[in-house]
Amino acid sequence: MNELVLCSVEPWDEVWRRNQYLVAGLLDHDPDLTVLFVEPPVDPLYEVWARRRPRPARGLVRRYDVADGRLWTLQQTELIPGRLADTTLARGVIRAARELHFDEPMLWINDPSRAPLVRRTGWPALYDITDDWLSADLAPRELRRLTRHESLLLNECREVVVCSPGLQQSKGADRPVTLIGNGVDVPAYRRPAPRPKDLPAGPCAVYVGTLRDDRLDVALCVQLARALNGIGELVLIGPDALSPRSRAMLRAESVHLLGAKPYTAVPSYLQHADALVVPHVVTAFTDRLDPIKLYEYLAVGRPVVATPVAGFRDQSGVTIAAGAEFAERVRTRCAGTPLPPGPLPISVPVPTWADRVEQMAKVLAAVSAPA
């Protein structure tokens, strides 16, 4: 396995997620490996609808910040959604692979909308499932499209990887799947860091993750902000994909929305929190996630309060609560004895990205082996 094409649901940027950590680890593990990381396409029509200035796609870019230039990213433009777009985007990926002189790369599909590549290329393929999009709140047309794509991937990919026990149960009903959860760079989160300048003074309840209406319980955040009034601050850190209404509700309660932070800066925010919170909704969609924040929170050893969502509810040492009790538990912690800054002792083993890279390398070897 010397050539890998990964079609990701997320871009390669400063907010590192599962795909970035795994790819960086694999590139470090195998000095002969070259990766084409296919990002989600740019949708100029959506940008106009959202009242944002459309920006051109970056195209094919060589990255020298990882693995000395053995990583390439590809960002395309999607003008018309649907089957025509699927075909056009697939052709663009094949063209980029040829430009890089990839002979017969392995195909790693994380974005199910890229399923047509499996049949168009015949490349040995892996389907890596990190979200159960079929249980998400989607328009009927989009749901039918994703159902068709996922059926193709489950039937024709040589290997299927899932990130959570919930996905293992649902996607493994009709075929074998391999469970590879998420992890954390433990040394980075255990290394003491100074308090960030934009973190409010005084007690803080901190949440780190993408802010989305289908995951974040905005009403509970409002309730928590009111409970902390005069005692501490609620701080939400991460890319903001909230609806304008949700954003306005949070700002009306003086919730601090600090936006996305580089992955290298995240440990500093967690190390100076008085409570780490997970005010998530509990749905079929969230119940099949393996939140990366679970491992990040555990690695810094600070107190954690979460709603009863997957991962957190089965973790020892995590306070599970909902509604008014959730807000009260966080309030009590922030009003209690101040914690010393920096990472605190941890009492449970925390899976690392190095562990997950080893697991993924074995699956990739199986995919690339002669059929």
Domain of residue 203, CATH code? 3.40.50.2000
Tell me, yes or no, whether 101 and 35 share the same domain: yes
Question: pLDDT at residue 162 above 90?
Answer: yes
Mean pLDDT of 327-355: 94
Tell me, yes or no, whether 238 and 94 share the same domain: no
| pLDDT higher at 80 or 30 | 30
Tell me, yes or no, whether 8 and 85 share the same domain: yes
| Residue 346 falls inside a structural domain | no
| Residue 295 falls inside a structural domain | yes
Show the domain range for 225. 186-335
Tell me, yes or no, whether 298 and 249 share the same domain: yes
Instruction: Write the DSSP assignment of 83-110 as a string of letters.
Output: HHHHHHHHHHHHHHHHHTT-SS-EEEE-
Tell me, yes or no, whether 83 and 156 share the same domain: yes
* For helices 218-227 and 323-335, angle between their N-to-C axes, nearest 10 degrees: 40
Identity of the amino acid at 53: R
Tell me, yes or no, whether 267 and 173 share the same domain: no
Which strands sit side by side in the sheet containing 125-129, from one edge to the other? Answer: 59-63, 71-75, 34-38, 3-7, 106-109, 125-129, 159-162, 178-179
Tell me, yes or no, whether 48 and 135 share the same domain: yes
Question: pLDDT at residue 76 above 80?
Answer: yes
Distance in angstroms (rounded) separating the CA atoms of residues 177 and 53: 42
| Residue 347 falls inside a structural domain | no
Radius of gyration of the chain (CA): 21
Q: What is the pLDDT of residue 177?
A: 97
On whether the CB atoms of residues 94 and 105 are closer than 8 A, the answer is no
Angle, alpha carbons 21-65-3 (nearest 5°): 65
Digit-coded pLDDT (tens) for 257-266: 999 999 999 9
Mean pLDDT of 3-22: 96
Rounded to a whole number of angstroms, the distance between the first and last alpha carbons of the chain is 14
Helix (H), strand (E) at residue 26? helix 18-29
Full-model pTM: 0.93
How many domains is the chain partitioned into structurally?
A: 2
Tell me, yes or no, whether 124 and 212 share the same domain: no
For residue 145, give Cα distances in angstroms to 41, 116, 166, 185: 17, 11, 23, 36
Bridge partners of residue 34, in order along the sequence: 3
Digit-coded pLDDT (tens) for 206-229: 999 999 999 999 999 999 999 999
Tell me, yes or no, whether 152 and 114 share the same domain: yes
